[in-house]
Amino acid sequence: MYSEKVMDHFSNPRNVGELKDANGIGTVGNATCGDIMKVYLKVENGIIQDVSFKTFGCGAAIATSSMATEMVKGKSLEEALKVSNIAVMEALDGLPPQKVHCSVLAEEAIHAAIEDYRKNQA
Amino acid sequence: MNRIYLDNAATTPLSPEVLKAMMPFLMGHYGNASSIHDTGRDARRAIDEARKQVAGFIGAKPNEVYFTSGGTESDNWALKGVAYANRNKGNHIITSAIEHPAVLETAKWLETQGFGVTYLPAGANGILSLEDVEKAITNRTILISIMAANNEIGTLQPVAAIGALARAHKIPFHTDAVQAAGAIRIDVNAWQADLLSLSGHKFHGPKGMGVLYVRSGTRMMPLLHGGAQERNRRAGTENVAGIVGLGQAAQNAGMFIEENAEKITRLRNRLIDGILSTISHVRLNGDRGSRLPNNANLSFRYIEGEALLLHLDLNGIAASSGSACASGSLEPSHVLLSIGLDAEDAHSSLRFTLSEATTEDEINTVLALLPGIVDKLRAMSPLAS
Ligand SMILES: Cc1ncc(COP(=O)(O)O)c(C=O)c1O
Ligand SMILES: [Zn+2]
């Protein structure tokens, strides 16, 4: 059901855990829908220097969390905001149709973390 | 990799003996059982024999056994057939909130057709209360349908007591015994069941083959209209090979129920006790005592069920989960929610269902692997901290 890339990111997820010196944190999702994702950002001079995540969720949720964090690492906030769930899914060689909604979470979690960072700076 | 199959509630492998019984009817004996000639009579004899085998398996008379295309058709037919045949008497149906979708969705559809349905909740232990059933009965009640054993949490329902209650009120009683078949002894008279559903593939028979038992004298409409097959009640040229396979599977399943139940229960308890003693924040779903011998359903807090399933699968272990993401729906298991789990615990559930072929080594392998998988997933869970 899942592509090899999805299974790779699911079994060996990148950027797992908490970032001790994060300056932007975003949590999205809820237990009702079944997936919850928390993203930690360390932003310096408008660039995402480091990023990590924690996810309660299915294979698709964990794999998209892993891939999305890889894709925004080293990017400016503006660039990171443009990383869509579609781009993350493409990078994973696709997801089954019933799993597309799980991939939206990663995009939303990154947006929430960036918003949190901006609020902290204001 | 040695594969360990612990998803026998989903389906079971076809037994070689069943396949052997079916083969002649897939190859040489191609007759239509309705034909007068010798080739047709071969098929007729084989169907008659299978009907006797199934009757023996559930304590029925052969002419009360109807072959269908599976558990889903049997459940649909039982509910719709009785509801429409008794429209002049009333329009109220009693069932439970933890039925299989084959019953629940049929009941919901009947609601759109002018019938009223009471969905009784199960208690926190996953067992219905007889008192609740009794209180739900009205003088408009025309059917009570309560499953014998739940497919997710394995809890056994008090079907004999419900059957007696239904009989006392002269209300037809249907029970979905799809999960009970082969696991516990079925007796339509002891249970006072008027209708009972079976599905072949749950006890080493063919997929797409089922049975509806209908007690003689039960008012019932056909579901499939057409030819005169199954005594004018279920039209369509018989799937002779499938029927023969189902009959053989029923005969085999009836032979070792008590012996298998003892062995499977012991291994299942080893699995449950092993998990509860080595992994923290785990709950067993459904009553510990009154459940199918082969069922272990547990919630692993802070972890989503599909992620657990995938890790087990990578290690060659097949199980199932009530999480929404595993089932492809947006909602977690209606059964787990109904017995009072919160959404998080319902998403965190894992179901192992053993068989008589399950070995102690296999259980030990699961017990050795599971703690590591749980640790890994909990380490990445935002809920565990
Ligand atoms: C309790 C119960 N009822 C009905 C069914 C449906 O049976 P079938 O797959 O033969 O249509 C199942 C199978 O999953 C079941 O577990
Ligand atoms: Zn998901």
Q: Could you give the percent of chain A with pLDDT greater than 70?
A: 100
Query: Is this complex scored with an ipTM above 0.85?
Result: yes
Where exactly does CATH 3.40.640.10 map onto chain B?
16-255
Q: Pick the residue from chain A with its C-alpha nearest to B325.
A: A58
Ligand 1 center to B246 CA (angstroms): 15
A33/B contact by beta carbon, under 8 A? yes
Q: Pick the residue from chain A with its C-alpha nearest to B307.
A: A58
Q: What is the pLDDT of residue B330?
A: 67
Q: What is the pLDDT of residue B29?
A: 87
A118 CA: distance to closest CA in chain B (Å): 22
Ligand 2 center to A110 CA (angstroms): 17
**Per-residue CA distances from B314 to A66, B1, B59, B366 (Å):** 19, 10, 43, 12
The CATH code of the domain at B16-255 is: 3.40.640.10
The CATH code of the domain at B4-12+256-384 is: 3.90.1150.10
Low-confidence ranges of chain B (pLDDT < 50): none
Where exactly does CATH 3.90.1150.10 map onto chain B?
4-12+256-384
Question: Taking an 8 Å Cβ-Cβ cutoff, which residues of chain B contact chain A?
Answer: 302-307, 310-311, 314, 323-326, 328, 330, 332, 342-344, 347, 379-383
Q: What is the pLDDT of residue B328?
A: 65
HEC sequence for B274-309:
HHHHHCCCEEECCCCCCECCCEEEEEECCCCHHHHH
Number of residues assigned to chain B: 385
Ligand 1 center to B197 CA (angstroms): 9
Chain B residues close to A95, C-beta within 8 Å: none
Indicate which ligand has the atom closest to the C-alpha of B73: 1
- How far apart (Å, rounded) are the C-alpha atoms in residues A63 and B162? 48
A4-121: CATH topology is Sufe protein. Chain: A (3.90.1010)
Q: What is the pLDDT of residue B332?
A: 86
Buried b (16+ CB within 10 A) or exposed e, B329-348: eebbbbbbbbbebebbbbbb
> What's the mean pLDDT in A71-95?
96
